[in-house]
A and B are shown apart, each in its own frame.
Chain A
Amino acid sequence: MWWKLLWTWLGLLVFLLALFIGVARELRTCQLGYLLQTACIVVLYGAKALHTGDADMWAAFAGLVVIRGGLIPIIIRWKLPPVLMDARENRFVAAPTFLLMAFCVLGAVSAGVATVWAGRFAVPFGFALGTLLAALAGVALTHQAGQQMFGLLSAENGIDLAVAAILSRIPVGVDDLIFVDIALATMLSVVLLVRLKASGSTRLHDLRELRG
């Protein structure tokens, strides 16, 4: 029972933090949202490792803490200049209220869809799909390249919810592979963000020279 409650509340928190990241105005706030989301996933992995006592689970937990909780924030902090992290974004493509409503609708649809197909994994898969879709919608609807990066990180946290639910069924190497992949993607995003900033702007509105 407590297990289900933990999944439900932490899954809901991960989803709500995805909404928070989607409407945040500064990258530093997005980063805070991402760290909190990751902390929720860490708790889930840790609880599952304790529950099963499986060494593989602990290996996945260690990978999560080291790569997602440690390496990725360090890369971001090390490479992204404070001026970029603190820049305030006031011009949203859609009003934040509308964005929140749209994200909530996506969450509701995801919960409904997952109930139909995911069976006993309906709760984690519902929140995972909701987080993934809300985060990707945020990526599509933002004006800032930096916020796109945090949107993608948030989407990946959503997938981790689903991976955590089925971790006993797949090799643990898969989980660590996903963490390494996302760390590489973050590294590249940071390098490109710095280059974009150096060449003028990280606003997507200014990146429209390639058309047709």
Chain B
Amino acid sequence: MDVVGWLLVVPLLGIGAMYLLPASRCPFVPPVVTALNIALMGVNVGVNGFAHGPSVSDSPWWSADGLSAVVTAITLVVGFTACVYSVRYIRGRTGPHAPAERPRNLAQERGYFTLLLVFYASLVAATIVQNVFFTWGAIELTALSSVLLVDWHQTRLTHEAAWKYLVIMISGGLLALFGLVTLAGSVDLPLMGATWTDLARVARHVPATALRVSFALILAGFGAKAGLVPFNFWLPDAHSQAPSPVSAMLSGIKLNCAMYGILRLQQVLHAGGQGGFADAALGTLGFLTVGMSALMTVAQTDVKRLLAYSSAENLGMVAIGFAFGPIGAIAGYLQMVNHAIIKSMLFYHSGELLHLSGSTDMRTMRGVTAVLPKTGRAWMLGMLAIAGAPPFGLFISEFLVVLAILRHGTPALAVVLLVFLLVLFASFLQRALQIGYGKPSRQVTASAAPVGESAGIVGPTALHLLLTFAFGTALPFVGLAFAHVMSNG
């Protein structure tokens, strides 16, 4: 087994360790496991990546081409910070810092961290396995393992959110599975390996109608999981009710993993000569998603629902990017990375805002910067970053998406997209100013003391801000240098 396979083995060992270690040590297992995985990925890229080009694995079991590497890297980084943040977040609710009315519950803590690792392992598996059906199974498992995490608080509202989430995830999974079965049934050759490489290789022999039907089913199925319109009504409910680190993983990683499934099949359609159909379908859903989500952000009063609609909007941008040629694909990759980094950070802070004001209602939050300076400033910067303001990374990726559309010869579409982005920018700027500045509201001042700003909270968000800042400032120069090298042979 090469190093890529160990990315899955390590979390599985971690899950076993959860039941061998004393319950009080369980919260520290996920951060250690996820840190080890980052180190493994670093070793893998260092040893193989630069020597063999984009493919860092030759295994028939494990896939690690460019698409897989990008989504896996996102999973590893956001998974690590979510696990670190979870320690403080969950122990603040069930541990020694829990409110007096809620005694420490070690079994509940162990349950949470075990589910978190299962969720993490399934997210890693989704992007590294080569077998088409195992990819489907892993994407299914990302949904199934997170259902009880969404319902972790076990209130009536979380039950409602978890139920909707489960029903949509299973329905979407079934549609996607039927799409894959349709594709496998349309190939005249046996697909005993059933790898993505096999499918791309035989795609030329599949009838065009079968390819199109399969893609439509998979787009509907995985699109529902990726938060694309019109099947994304589960998204604000699940994101708003889940614990903040779980919301961060749902938004930052899980949506990308579902999109990964769509993009894999898009590659198969391109290989089969039906790329135009795939691009048109993906682009159309992308535009609808961006438009609907941008408009929905205007009406939100709950901070986590606002962030959830923004997640849908960003995945819509990813879909648009990958529908508009090579420049669009680069933009799509960057959009995935930048969105995952910024949005997970904002979800961590939404947890702090919840602790601070007792609810996620934005109408009760004002003047956070005055009470919690580090959290407030990070929140402001994060909101600007997710709105697409320079010098953060999302500005670059959104700029490249618009550029790709213009180069495609459809300026009207670029204008429509810019209008949607403008609505979103205004909406986020207004909310950022409202929450960050002004005289602190009664709810904010009443409970500021017990929240605090420990390293466990500030650390992950600082890392995320640094990364998105680096993507926004260094990347254009790296790109220019690369172009210069290429033009000089």
B300 within 8 A of A: yes
Prevailing SS type, chain A contact patch: helix
390-426 of chain B: CB within 8 A of chain A: none
A165 within 8 A of B: yes
Shortest CB-to-CB span from A19 to chain B, Å, is: 17
Q: Are A132 and B174 in contact (CB under 8 A)?
A: yes
Q: List chain B residues, Cβ under 8 A from A117.
A: 182, 186, 207, 209-210, 213
Considering the complex, give the chain A residue whose CB is closest to the CB of B169.
Answer: A185
Contact with B along A58-88 (1 / 0, CB 8 A): 0000000000000000000000000000000
Q: Are B144 and A181 in contact (CB under 8 A)?
A: yes
B38 within 8 A of A: no
A5 within 8 A of B: no
Q: Given A184-B144, A188-B144, A209-B160, answer yes or no on A116-B240 (Cβ-Cβ < 8 Å).
A: no
Cα(A155)–Cα(B147), bound, Å: 20
Q: Are B166 and A185 in contact (CB under 8 A)?
A: yes
Shortest CB-to-CB span from B234 to chain A, Å, is: 10
Cα(A132)–Cα(B177), bound, Å: 11
Cα(A79)–Cα(B244), bound, Å: 30
A42 within 8 A of B: no
Partner of B167, one of A118, A119, A139, A165: A139
Partner of B300, one of A152, A162, A166, A212: A212
- Of the listed stretches A43-51, A99-107, A169-177, name the one at the interface; the rest are far from the partner chain: A169-177
Q: List chain A residues, Cβ under 8 A from B140.
A: 181, 185
Considering the complex, give the chain A residue whose CB is closest to the CB of B163.
Answer: A192
Q: List chain B residues, Cβ under 8 A from A119.
A: 186, 207
Prevailing SS type, chain B contact patch: helix
143-187 of chain B: CB within 8 A of chain A: 144, 147-148, 151, 154-157, 159-164, 166-167, 170-171, 173-175, 177-178, 181-182, 184-187
Q: List chain A residues, Cβ under 8 A from B299.
A: 212
Considering the complex, give the chain B residue whose CB is closest to the CB of A178.
Answer: B177
Q: Are B171 and A125 in contact (CB under 8 A)?
A: no
A159 within 8 A of B: yes
Partner of A210, one of B151, B157, B177, B193: B157
B75 within 8 A of A: no
Q: Are B305 and A207 in contact (CB under 8 A)?
A: no
B241 within 8 A of A: yes
Q: Are A192 and B151 in contact (CB under 8 A)?
A: yes
Q: Are B184 and A192 in contact (CB under 8 A)?
A: no
A27 within 8 A of B: no
Q: List chain A residues, Cβ under 8 A from B481.
A: none
Cα(A188)–Cα(B166), bound, Å: 8
Q: Given A116-B209, A210-B161, answer yes or no on A195-B154 (Cβ-Cβ < 8 Å).
A: yes
Q: List chain B residues, Cβ under 8 A from A168.
A: 190
Q: List chain A residues, Cβ under 8 A from B210.
A: 117-118
Partner of A145, one of B155, B163, B182: B163
Considering the complex, give the chain A residue whose CB is closest to the CB of B212.
Answer: A117
Q: List chain B residues, Cβ under 8 A from A199.
A: 155-156, 159
Q: Are A159 and B166 in contact (CB under 8 A)?
A: no
Q: Are B171 and A139 in contact (CB under 8 A)?
A: yes
Cα(A139)–Cα(B168), bound, Å: 10
Q: List chain A residues, Cβ under 8 A from B151.
A: 192, 195
Q: List chain A residues, Cβ under 8 A from B148.
A: 188, 191
Q: List chain A residues, Cβ under 8 A from B162.
A: 192
A136 within 8 A of B: yes
Q: Are B174 and A177 in contact (CB under 8 A)?
A: no
Cα(A150)–Cα(B251), bound, Å: 29
Contact with A along B122-158 (1 / 0, CB 8 A): 0000000001011001001100100110010011110
Chain A residue total in the interface (Cβ 8 A): 45
Q: Are A195 and B159 in contact (CB under 8 A)?
A: yes
Partner of A200, one of B156, B171, B236: B156
Q: Given A210-B160, A212-B300, answer yes or no on A185-B178 (Cβ-Cβ < 8 Å).
A: no
Cα(A191)–Cα(B162), bound, Å: 11
89-147 of chain B: CB within 8 A of chain A: 131, 133-134, 137, 140-141, 144, 147
A163 within 8 A of B: yes
Q: Given A118-B185, A166-B184, A200-B156, answer yes or no on A192-B207 (Cβ-Cβ < 8 Å).
A: no
Q: List chain B residues, Cβ under 8 A from A200.
A: 156
B237 within 8 A of A: yes
Cα(A125)–Cα(B240), bound, Å: 39
Q: Are A152 and B144 in contact (CB under 8 A)?
A: no
Cα(A23)–Cα(B134), bound, Å: 34
Contact with A along B216-239 (1 / 0, CB 8 A): 000000000000000000001100
Cα(A162)–Cα(B305), bound, Å: 39
Q: Are B300 and A163 in contact (CB under 8 A)?
A: no
Q: List chain A residues, Cβ under 8 A from B178.
A: 128-129, 132, 159, 162
B39 within 8 A of A: no
B192 within 8 A of A: yes
Considering the complex, give the chain B residue whose CB is closest to the CB of A156.
Answer: B174
Cα(A166)–Cα(B188), bound, Å: 11
Q: Are B133 and A174 in contact (CB under 8 A)?
A: yes
Q: List chain A residues, Cβ under 8 A from B475.
A: none
Q: List chain A residues, Cβ under 8 A from B302.
A: 212
Q: Are B156 and A210 in contact (CB under 8 A)?
A: no
User: A181-B141, A192-B147 given. 11 additional CB < 8 A pairs?
Assistant: A169-B185, A169-B192, A170-B191, A170-B192, A174-B194, A177-B133, A178-B137, A188-B144, A189-B166, A210-B160, A212-B300
Closest 8 CB pairs of A and B: A174-B133, A117-B209, A166-B185, A207-B160, A210-B237, A177-B137, A199-B156, A162-B181
